[in-house]
Amino acid sequence: METVTAPHVGRLGNETCAETAVNPRILLIEDDRRLAEMVVNYLGQFGFAVTAVHAGHAGVALHARENFDAVILDLMLPDIDGLEVCRKLRTGGDTPILMLTARGDAMDRVVGLEMGADDYLPKPFEPRELLARLRSILRRRTGERGSSEVLRFGRLEIDADGRQVRLDGKPRALTSYQFALLLALAQRAGRVMSRETLMDLVSHDKLEAFDRSIDVHISRIRAAIEDDPKKPRRVITVRGAGYVFAKAQE
């Protein structure tokens, strides 16, 4: 196991770290040691304290013992499939997960999202894209500072400040990405939102034609907040246009 804690805000070229003095703790589960070392060193320059492990079981065990702000998880590991690691991490908490995949099959990414990953990044990747996606899931985790918005729609309550969703007063489990997606829809209740617009609002990424990740997240949201996810009454599909949050439903 390799641990690096950045003692100060770093700098690379013309880009400076926007993180606070409190270094976000990141768990990296990656069996490629050279890649892991590059990620540890690169993120360390931007104020991240990165702990790298090179096997899935070790990552799950460490995650259970210590608190991390986010996990970067390789899909292909020597001892256990990364999808199974993702499932174990998600059942043990709601730490944001950024999944790395060298496999080109879009189905792997869909399954990863269904297992609870917040985002994915195909290999090979540019270090700056990794940094941007990591910061994005951390922002979604903490929410926008100063927000005290609580949206109420009948039995459903969305607490923007507390980053919680409650149905009939009971908390419902969503990943940070799914919460951000639901919040974006609820804040624009009654308006039809295209997949491209939602992707831009939540992650500032451009949606590729084959990318159905939004649909996967919507299905998970429905499973959490709808009485019958197969016949949704809150998050409605508008065929050929996108999705709309129905504000009039009780």
Q: Which pLDDT does position 248 carry in this prediction?
A: 64
How would residue 197 be classed by pLDDT, with cut points 50, 70 and 90? confident
Query: Please, which pLDDT band fits residue 8 given cuts at 50, 70 and 90?
Result: very low
CA-CA-CA-CA torsion sign (14, 19, 21, 26): negative
Percent of the chain with pLDDT strictly greater than 90: 39
Pair 75, 112: CB distance under 8 Å: yes
pTM value?
0.61
Range 2-142: architecture per CATH: 3-Layer(aba) Sandwich (3.40)
Q: In which residue ranges of the chain is CATH 3.40.50.2300 found?
A: 2-142
Highest mean pLDDT, choosing among 4-18, 33-47, 129-143, 202-216: 33-47
Helix (H, G, I), strand (E, B) or coil at 248: coil
- E strand map for the chain: 2-4, 11-12, 15-16, 25-29, 49-53, 70-74, 97-101, 119-122, 150-153, 156-159, 164-167, 170-172, 192-193, 235-238, 242-245
Mean residue pLDDT of the chain comes to 81
Task: Give span(s): CATH 1.10.10.10, the chain.
Answer: 150-245
- Which CATH fold topology does 150-245 show? Arc Repressor Mutant, subunit A (1.10.10)
